[in-house]
Amino acid sequence: MTIMFKIGDRAVYPAQGVGVVENIESREFCGQTHDFYILRIIDNDMTIMVPVGNAHQVGLRTLISKDKVETIYNVLEEKQIGSLAIASWSRRQREYNDKIKTGDPIDVAEVLRELYLIKEEKELSYGEKKVLELARRLLVKELALAEGIEEDMVTDRLENMVN
Protein backbone atom coordinates (compact mmCIF):
# COMPACT_ATOMS: atom_id res chain seq x y z
CA MET A 1 0.00 0.00 0.00
CA THR A 2 1.49 3.33 -1.05
CA ILE A 3 0.49 6.39 0.90
CA MET A 4 0.45 9.36 -1.40
CA PHE A 5 1.27 12.70 0.14
CA LYS A 6 0.48 16.07 -1.35
CA ILE A 7 2.44 19.28 -1.03
CA GLY A 8 1.58 20.79 2.35
CA ASP A 9 0.75 17.45 3.99
CA ARG A 10 2.35 16.60 7.32
CA ALA A 11 4.24 13.33 7.47
CA VAL A 12 6.28 11.57 10.14
CA TYR A 13 9.79 10.41 9.29
CA PRO A 14 11.22 7.80 11.71
CA ALA A 15 13.66 9.13 14.33
CA GLN A 16 13.39 12.67 12.89
CA GLY A 17 9.79 13.56 13.62
CA VAL A 18 7.03 15.49 11.93
CA GLY A 19 7.75 17.22 8.65
CA VAL A 20 5.87 19.04 5.94
CA VAL A 21 5.94 17.89 2.31
CA GLU A 22 7.34 21.05 0.74
CA ASN A 23 7.53 19.73 -2.80
CA ILE A 24 7.45 16.65 -4.99
CA GLU A 25 10.34 16.65 -7.43
CA SER A 26 11.50 14.40 -10.23
CA ARG A 27 15.21 13.63 -10.37
CA GLU A 28 17.14 11.52 -12.82
CA PHE A 29 19.48 8.82 -11.53
CA CYS A 30 21.25 6.28 -13.72
CA GLY A 31 19.06 7.13 -16.67
CA GLN A 32 15.81 6.68 -14.76
CA THR A 33 13.51 9.39 -13.45
CA HIS A 34 12.30 9.05 -9.87
CA ASP A 35 9.86 11.17 -7.87
CA PHE A 36 10.87 12.39 -4.40
CA TYR A 37 9.00 13.95 -1.53
CA ILE A 38 10.93 16.95 -0.27
CA LEU A 39 10.20 16.82 3.44
CA ARG A 40 11.16 19.65 5.81
CA ILE A 41 11.34 18.50 9.44
CA ILE A 42 9.47 21.03 11.57
CA ASP A 43 11.75 20.88 14.63
CA ASN A 44 15.06 21.60 12.94
CA ASP A 45 14.34 22.65 9.33
CA MET A 46 16.28 19.63 8.06
CA THR A 47 15.32 18.67 4.51
CA ILE A 48 14.97 15.00 3.62
CA MET A 49 14.41 13.60 0.13
CA VAL A 50 12.24 10.50 0.27
CA PRO A 51 11.71 8.43 -2.89
CA VAL A 52 7.95 8.30 -3.47
CA GLY A 53 8.19 4.62 -4.39
CA ASN A 54 10.04 3.78 -1.16
CA ALA A 55 8.15 6.07 1.22
CA HIS A 56 6.39 3.18 2.94
CA GLN A 57 9.57 1.08 3.26
CA VAL A 58 11.50 3.91 4.93
CA GLY A 59 8.62 4.37 7.37
CA LEU A 60 7.19 7.67 6.15
CA ARG A 61 3.65 7.81 7.49
CA THR A 62 0.78 10.14 8.24
CA LEU A 63 0.33 11.75 11.65
CA ILE A 64 -1.53 9.63 14.16
CA SER A 65 -5.25 10.30 14.26
CA LYS A 66 -6.84 12.07 17.19
CA ASP A 67 -8.51 8.83 18.34
CA LYS A 68 -5.08 7.11 18.58
CA VAL A 69 -3.77 9.77 20.97
CA GLU A 70 -5.33 8.12 24.05
CA THR A 71 -3.71 4.81 23.09
CA ILE A 72 -0.32 6.51 23.30
CA TYR A 73 -1.15 8.04 26.70
CA ASN A 74 -2.34 4.62 27.92
CA VAL A 75 1.03 3.09 26.98
CA LEU A 76 2.79 5.88 28.87
CA GLU A 77 0.63 5.35 31.97
CA GLU A 78 1.47 1.65 32.29
CA LYS A 79 3.75 1.18 35.25
CA GLN A 80 5.32 -2.07 34.14
CA ILE A 81 8.86 -2.00 32.96
CA GLY A 82 10.00 -4.18 30.10
CA SER A 83 12.50 -6.97 30.53
CA LEU A 84 15.07 -4.67 28.97
CA ALA A 85 15.34 -2.58 32.10
CA ILE A 86 17.54 -5.20 33.69
CA ALA A 87 19.79 -5.49 30.65
CA SER A 88 22.99 -3.55 30.22
CA TRP A 89 22.72 0.02 28.97
CA SER A 90 24.42 -0.84 25.66
CA ARG A 91 21.84 -3.55 24.98
CA ARG A 92 18.94 -1.31 26.01
CA GLN A 93 20.32 1.56 23.93
CA ARG A 94 20.39 -0.66 20.84
CA GLU A 95 16.84 -1.81 21.54
CA TYR A 96 15.59 1.72 22.25
CA ASN A 97 17.18 3.10 19.09
CA ASP A 98 15.67 0.26 17.06
CA LYS A 99 12.23 1.07 18.49
CA ILE A 100 12.63 4.78 17.77
CA LYS A 101 13.76 4.02 14.21
CA THR A 102 10.53 2.12 13.52
CA GLY A 103 8.72 5.44 13.69
CA ASP A 104 5.81 3.70 15.43
CA PRO A 105 4.51 6.09 18.11
CA ILE A 106 3.64 3.17 20.40
CA ASP A 107 7.25 1.93 20.25
CA VAL A 108 8.50 5.46 20.98
CA ALA A 109 6.04 5.73 23.89
CA GLU A 110 7.34 2.43 25.31
CA VAL A 111 10.91 3.75 25.22
CA LEU A 112 9.86 6.96 26.94
CA ARG A 113 7.87 5.07 29.59
CA GLU A 114 10.76 2.72 30.38
CA LEU A 115 13.23 5.56 30.71
CA TYR A 116 10.87 7.50 32.97
CA LEU A 117 10.46 4.40 35.17
CA ILE A 118 14.22 3.83 35.30
CA LYS A 119 14.65 7.52 36.17
CA GLU A 120 12.48 6.96 39.26
CA GLU A 121 14.96 4.33 40.46
CA LYS A 122 18.28 5.94 39.57
CA GLU A 123 19.91 8.90 37.89
CA LEU A 124 19.93 8.44 34.12
CA SER A 125 23.25 8.30 32.33
CA TYR A 126 24.08 10.86 29.65
CA GLY A 127 23.13 8.39 26.91
CA GLU A 128 19.84 7.51 28.60
CA LYS A 129 18.99 11.21 28.95
CA LYS A 130 19.67 11.78 25.24
CA VAL A 131 17.38 8.90 24.23
CA LEU A 132 14.69 10.11 26.67
CA GLU A 133 14.87 13.64 25.20
CA LEU A 134 14.62 12.32 21.63
CA ALA A 135 11.65 10.08 22.44
CA ARG A 136 9.91 12.90 24.32
CA ARG A 137 10.54 15.42 21.51
CA LEU A 138 9.20 13.04 18.86
CA LEU A 139 6.08 12.19 20.86
CA VAL A 140 5.29 15.70 22.10
CA LYS A 141 5.40 17.18 18.59
CA GLU A 142 3.19 14.49 17.07
CA LEU A 143 0.70 14.37 19.95
CA ALA A 144 0.35 18.18 19.95
CA LEU A 145 -0.29 18.27 16.20
CA ALA A 146 -2.69 15.30 16.36
CA GLU A 147 -4.67 16.89 19.20
CA GLY A 148 -4.44 20.41 17.81
CA ILE A 149 -3.00 21.76 21.08
CA GLU A 150 0.20 23.50 22.18
CA GLU A 151 3.27 21.37 22.84
CA ASP A 152 3.46 22.80 26.38
CA MET A 153 0.09 21.21 27.17
CA VAL A 154 1.34 17.81 26.01
CA THR A 155 4.57 18.23 27.98
CA ASP A 156 2.59 19.15 31.11
CA ARG A 157 0.37 16.09 30.71
CA LEU A 158 3.42 13.85 30.30
CA GLU A 159 5.10 15.35 33.36
CA ASN A 160 1.93 14.86 35.43
CA MET A 161 1.68 11.24 34.30
CA VAL A 162 5.18 10.35 35.40
CA ASN A 163 5.32 12.29 38.65
CATH architecture of 66-162: Up-down Bundle (1.20)
**Residue 1: band (very low, low, confident or very high) from pLDDT cuts 50, 70, 90:** very low
* CATH architecture of the region 10-58: Beta Barrel (2.40)
143 CB-near residues (< 8 Å, 6+ apart): 64, 69, 72, 154
For the chain, the domains span 10-58, 66-162
Residue 2: pLDDT band with limits 50, 70, 90? low
Pick the residue with more confidence: 41 or 79?
Answer: 41
Shared fold status for 10-58 and 66-162: no
pLDDT at 82: 65
Chain segment 35-57, per-residue pLDDT in tens? 999 999 999 999 999 999 999 99
Q: Is the pLDDT of residue 23 over 90?
A: yes
Q: How far apart are CA 20 and CA 24, in angstroms?
A: 11
E-strand ranges in the chain read: 10-13, 17-29, 32-41, 47-51
Which band of pLDDT confidence, cut at 50, 70 and 90, is reported for residue 80?
confident
Residue 89 pLDDT exceeds 90:
no
